[in-house]
Amino acid sequence: MKDVLSRKQTVNRAANTVEEADFTGKKLLLAEDNKMNQMIANVILKESGFEVQIANNGEEAVKMITDAPANTYDVILMDIQMPVMDGYEATRQIRKLDDKAKTEIPIIAVTANAFEEDRKLALEAGMNGHLAKQYDIPKIKETLAELLL
> For residues 22 and 19, which has the higher predicted lDDT (pLDDT)?
22
| pLDDT tens digits for range 54-81 | 999 999 999 999 999 999 999 999 999 9
Entry field: residues in the chain: 149
The pLDDT-based confidence of 30 (bands split at 50, 70, 90) is very high
* Mean pLDDT score across all residues of the chain: 86
Residue 25 carries which side chain, given as an amino acid letter?
Answer: G
User: How confident is the model at residue 12, as a pLDDT?
Assistant: 40
Tell me the pTM.
Answer: 0.84
| pLDDT tens digits for range 104-142 | 999 999 988 878 888 899 999 999 999 988 777 788 888
CATH 3.40.1170.20 fits 23-148, yes or no: no
Burial 30-60 (b: 16+ CB within 10 A, else e): bbbbeeebbeebbeebeebebebbbbbbbbb
CA distance 123 to 35: 26
